[in-house]
Structure 1
Amino acid sequence: MNLSGRVAVVTGAGGGIGRGIALALSRRGCHLALADRNAQGLGETRDMVRGVKVTTHVLDVTERDRCRALPAEVVAEHGRVDLLVNNAGVAIGGTFEQVDEADFDWLMEVNFHAVVRLTRAFLPQLKATDSARIVNVSSLFGLIAPPGQTAYSAAKFAVRGFSESLRRELEEAGSTVGVTVIHPGGINTDIARNARPPRHVTNEEAALIADEKDRFQKFLRMSPVKAGEIIVEGIEKERPRVLVGNDARIGALIERLSPVGYWNILKRSMA
């Protein structure tokens, strides 16, 4: 996919992987419509971009009416949409029994339902171009499911399943729209640091969750800029799946070899 002169919509572009993707796209001459609920972060990303047209759109992906209105805003500014990158995401700490129903539903709304909602909203514009792509960011935890990640893994596995089925539907329809699903491993972003803690736990449980968050943070080593470059290279090559980092590649391989017992293997390796 030749990205020069194309127009990309990137959600979660106020920092982290979204910012890394935006910068990598701009280096290839791709114009940008950047969306995030964090207006300050959006402005910082915009100021880092050079040589292409950039618009910013303050967007909470849980707001359905705003999501439905976004395609018209982007087309009014840019005239077209060639690439949709569904990257916005959040995390929650704690086990399934510690995370209450409202927080579990909130994570699913951001990490999965918004992906579906924005894909539905932008698909007509994407189908109107000669070559377009939907890029949905899943996770290593959309390939493996560790303890303490029930909500996050549920959402990221759902993103993977939705993306793979949609890709096959579009292929069978002869569409010019392709689908890429991204599985980042340990990327050094704020998503773990900003993970919402469970609201109804004891002080002892809260301390254990905080310790687990600190331990997990040590595995987040790759810079978002490098991750963005890997992802955009995958988009250019129209890859259906992009594994970002050695940890993602190793996790995918071990899960394939031992689909039931992989966690015991990985736990020993991490120890």
Structure 2
Amino acid sequence: MPRLQVADATSVVTGAAAGMGAEVARQLAARGARIVLVDRDADGLAAVAASLPGSGHTMHVVDLADDAAVPAVAAAIAGRGPVQTLITCAGSSMLGNIDQLTMAEMRWLMDVNLWGTVNLTQALLPALRQAPAAHVTHLVSIYGLAAPAGRIPYAMSKYAVRGFTEALRHELEGSTVTVGAVYPAGVKTGIILRGRYAAALDPAIADRAAAAQAAMYHTDPADAAARIVEATVNRRARTMIGREARLVDALARLFPVGYWRFMRGPLRQATDTTTPV
């Protein structure tokens, strides 16, 4: 499979206003790609766009869970020519156990993490097919390999993104578009600190759990972004980022039912959403 030459080609990056998306955009721009920045944070997008080397970059402010808005954005992107890469970094988190969460809260996270990913991917497929070779990279998560307590909505959404990615890869087999999943673990983007928590959850308990989770993150966003860009350029189907991701992947394969007994201890504070502070 030929390696992609990203210079002067169009790369679409979602969640580009901060965190992993912003780092991925910067590294692709440094390789000469024309970046299409997508996010709902207009100010964040403008700041990232101003920091990119090169020229020809564009930005689109949109909520990817908005079914009515996404086709127009995809049409505007496609109007500028073929798309070589799509990297979906947009996402959020939700703390709370099944007794604390509402259906509306769980649906919100599924809309953000799953349907936003599906929405733009489907809408941009015609533009991706126009490129001589193209690749779609979806960011999944270590929690798309193993599902911890206290993270039901997040794990559901990431398992679903994983299923979508794998099924799409099989559907596009033999075409010019390849599809891959990236499973990061412990990247210091602050997503857990900026995420939401169940309204029924004591804010002090939520802050404690989020801080405990964030303390377990060790990978620098720039290093993770470099791995994501390399996975995309080389059109890899499956990429683990971080020692923990490789370990959890092995645990889930070796102990498909019992992996939680190995994870429970290290994640005890991060998944505790009931013990008073």
Please tell me whether the aligned partners of residues 143 and 255 of structure 1 are also in contact (alpha carbons under 8 angstroms): yes
The amino acid across from 2:166 in the alignment is E
Q: Secondary structure at the match of 1:165?
A: helix
Matches of residues 161-200 of structure 1 in structure 2 within 5 Å?
161-171=163-173, 174-200=174-200
Which range is displaced more, 220-229 or 135-144? 220-229
30, 35, 52: which is aligned to 1:32?
Answer: 35
Please tell me whether the aligned partners of residues 185 and 248 of structure 1 are also in contact (alpha carbons under 8 angstroms): yes
Q: Secondary structure at the match of 1:65?
A: coil
Cα RMSD after superposing both structures? 1.4
Please tell me whether the aligned partners of residues 183 and 239 of structure 2 are also in contact (alpha carbons under 8 angstroms): yes
Q: Secondary structure at the match of 1:141?
A: helix
Please tell me whether the aligned partners of residues 96 and 151 of structure 1 are also in contact (alpha carbons under 8 angstroms): no
Identical amino acids, percent of aligned pairs: 35
Please tell me whether the aligned partners of residues 243 and 249 of structure 1 are also in contact (alpha carbons under 8 angstroms): yes
The amino acid across from 1:54 in the alignment is H
* Alignment partner, residue 232 of structure 1: 229
* Alignment partner, residue 217 of structure 1: 214
Matched positions, count = 265
Whether 1:110 aligns to 2:112 is yes
For residues 148-174 of structure 1, the C-alpha deviation after alignment (integer angstroms, 9 at most, x for no partner) is 110000000011111111101111xx2
For residues 80-139 of structure 1, the C-alpha deviation after alignment (integer angstroms, 9 at most, x for no partner) is 211111211011111122111111001001100111111110111111111011111110
Q: Secondary structure at the match of 2:95?
A: coil
Poorly superposed stretches of 4+, deviation over 3 Å: 268-271
For residues 48-80 of structure 1, the C-alpha deviation after alignment (integer angstroms, 9 at most, x for no partner) is 21024211111111211211111221133x322
For residues 18-65 of structure 1, the C-alpha deviation after alignment (integer angstroms, 9 at most, x for no partner) is 011111211211110001111111111112210242111111112112
The amino acid across from 2:193 in the alignment is R
82, 97, 102: which is aligned to 2:84?
Answer: 82
For structure 1, which runs of at least 5 residues remain unmatched after alignment? none
* Alignment partner, residue 4 of structure 1: 7
Please tell me whether the aligned partners of residues 23 and 225 of structure 1 are also in contact (alpha carbons under 8 angstroms): no
Please tell me whether the aligned partners of residues 65 and 119 of structure 2 are also in contact (alpha carbons under 8 angstroms): no
Alpha-carbon distance between aligned partners in 2 of 1:246 and 1:48, rounded to the nearest angstrom: 31
Alpha-carbon distance between aligned partners in 1 of 2:266 and 2:251, rounded to the nearest angstrom: 11
* Alignment partner, residue 15 of structure 1: 18
* Alignment partner, residue 56 of structure 1: 59
For structure 2, which runs of at least 5 residues remain unmatched after alignment? 269-277
